[in-house]
Structure 1
Amino acid sequence: MSDIPYVIAIDMDGTLLNEHRAIPESFWPVLKDLHSHGVVVAPASGRQLFTLLEQFAPAGQPMSVIAENGTVVFHGDEVISTTTVEAERAHAVIDVIDQHPDQDWGLVLCRSDGAFVSRTDPAFLAQCQPYYARMDIIEDLHEHVNDQVVKLAVFTFGSAEDEAAPALREAAEHLDVVVSGANWVDIMSSKASKGTALRNLANALEVPMERTIAFGDYLNDLQLLEAAGVSYAMDNAHPRIKAIADFIAPSNEDEGVVQVLRGIVEKLKQV
């Protein structure tokens, strides 16, 4: 068994990030304190690995990342697990999006080496850019389907939970359709989730699940919070997330994650 005291997985949007989609400055000294006690802290997000590595560059050391809603797990300086979508199923999802131009859906083909979009209107691209640091605009998404596809992310200008997700569940046979935000739906392998990714990371580090802690706010965090030894839903979280969490943390606007982490640091100092 590892001597790592905790593995802490933290969702980003609506959890750690503030309303400006920024990591609060108060987080960095707390992260440094946690690292000094041997704690592994991993962002757990639907965001791309390359985006998360950029956001956490101020930490200045090798890190752990759960990216693309759990389909990519990174530790130290390498990807330790990926869960991919079969090419045939990826092509089928692209066809479904193409067949429904009336829905105003935008599709991001997410591969472990980068993201691809064919839709070029500024309104759609503005929604993609915060999440995909490595993204190319191409003509035909079908031509970029290979064995590295980890997720197909759909942006809707309507409601992801009430409109897009139900329609996509009917079309995306044998895949998981996960509501990852108010306007985002992620389509990925049924074998993948943030919860499975946390288990994979903990296993790689030889840390028992009872020594894992997770923070989340939205429906794509459900399995993450269920898997963790201790779970925190943000005060601003979706009601279903609050219902299954062990504890409620202050909202992301009140830097709730930082407040809880400070308490963990104080406990570690007393050991």
Structure 2
Amino acid sequence: MNVQHHRPTATATPPDIRLVVTDMDGTLLDGDGNVPDSLWPLLTELRDRGIAFCPASGRQYATLAGQFGAVDDGGMVYVAENGAYVVRGGAELSSDPLEPAVVEWIVKSMRQLVDEGGVDAGVVVCGKRSAYVERSDEAFMKQVRTYYAAHEIVEDAAAVEDEFVKVALFDFGSAQETTAPLLAPLADTHQVVVSSHHWIDVMNPAANKGAAVRRLQDALGITPAQTMVFGDYRNDLEMLDTADWSYAMANAHPDVLARARLRAPANTENGVVRTVRDVLGLAVQA
């Protein structure tokens, strides 16, 4: 049965939490898409207590590193590209690449859908070094820049020299209704995940945030009972299964609300920071 509040049953001492993992958009970030200022002092307190903090996002590594680089002492782990690329201290911990032939099929199929079907959408081929796009209009590039700090406009996104870890499709309409059917042939062999109303991602079948977090737990010797996880959308589902302290944000997708054990206030109410402080018995910052 899911607990309908974010605060656990009171205990004499705080639980032995060693790892805090959080999604970004719709979870940690506020309503304007910014990291809440209250996170920075919390990160210092977590570090002082030997608690690892890990952003886990569909965003690329370069974007996450840019957001947290100023406070990263080299020990922060980034679960990027929905788990397909995991980096710590600038070094790769794990990755689950996509086959080049699959990337080429998606890119060509997307071109055909746009040209013949009149769909207003674009493709982002996500490599370890950069993201690659063929569409260059400002409306599309505004979306790309939000999630992919390192990006290049190229003639053929499937032909660049890089190792691909994800293909993301942005649909100005509904990704579920318009672009998801295009990817139906891959549903049985790859991870095809609607990560928001406008975005849908294709990854290696072994890649998801949950698999990445389990590898991280193994590497650090941390158990699910020592792990807190926060999420709001369907690309967070597997990740919720890695933690006894699994939280769905109040604004979460119904599938996430059904999967998580606990609830946190909405991202617009600073739910992640408030919940971590509450569970660990840390003083609320003025």
With normalisation by structure 2, the TM-score equals 0.88
Gaps of 5+ in 2: 1-15
User: How far does residue 169 in structure 1 lie from its aligned partner after superposition?
Assistant: 2.2
2:220 equivalent to 1:208: no
- Equivalent pairs counted in the alignment come to 264
2:123 equivalent to 1:107: yes
Query: In structure 1, the residue corresponding to 2:146 is in which secondary structure?
Result: coil
Query: In structure 1, the residue corresponding to 2:147 is in which secondary structure?
Result: coil
1:55 to 49, 54, 67: 67
User: How far does residue 57 in structure 1 lie from its aligned partner after superposition?
Assistant: 2.1
Quick one: which amino acid aligns to residue 86 of structure 1?
E
Paired residues for 1:41-190 under 5 Å = 41-62=53-74, 63-101=76-114, 102-144=118-160, 146=162, 148-170=163-185, 174-190=189-205
Query: In structure 2, the residue corresponding to 1:152 is in which secondary structure?
Result: strand
Query: In structure 1, the residue corresponding to 2:73 is in which secondary structure?
Result: coil
Query: In structure 2, the residue corresponding to 1:9 is in which secondary structure?
Result: strand
Change in CA separation of 1:171 and 1:5 when aligned onto 2, cut-off 3 Å: closer
Gaps of 5+ in 1: none
Q: Is the 8 A contact 2:17 2:228 kept in 1?
A: no
Q: Give percent identity, aligned residues only.
A: 40
- Taking the aligned partners of 2:47 and 2:220, their CA distance within structure 1 comes to 15
User: How far does residue 60 in structure 1 lie from its aligned partner after superposition?
Assistant: 3.9
- Taking the aligned partners of 2:191 and 2:129, their CA distance within structure 1 comes to 21
- Taking the aligned partners of 1:171 and 1:191, their CA distance within structure 2 comes to 13
Quick one: which amino acid aligns to residue 175 of structure 2?
A
Paired residues for 1:205-244 under 5 Å = 205-244=220-259
- Taking the aligned partners of 1:60 and 1:223, their CA distance within structure 2 comes to 26
Q: Is the 8 A contact 2:194 2:200 kept in 1?
A: yes
- Taking the aligned partners of 2:189 and 2:160, their CA distance within structure 1 comes to 21
With normalisation by structure 1, the TM-score equals 0.93
Change in CA separation of 1:60 and 1:171 when aligned onto 2, cut-off 3 Å: closer
Q: Which residue of 2 aligns with 1:254?
A: 269
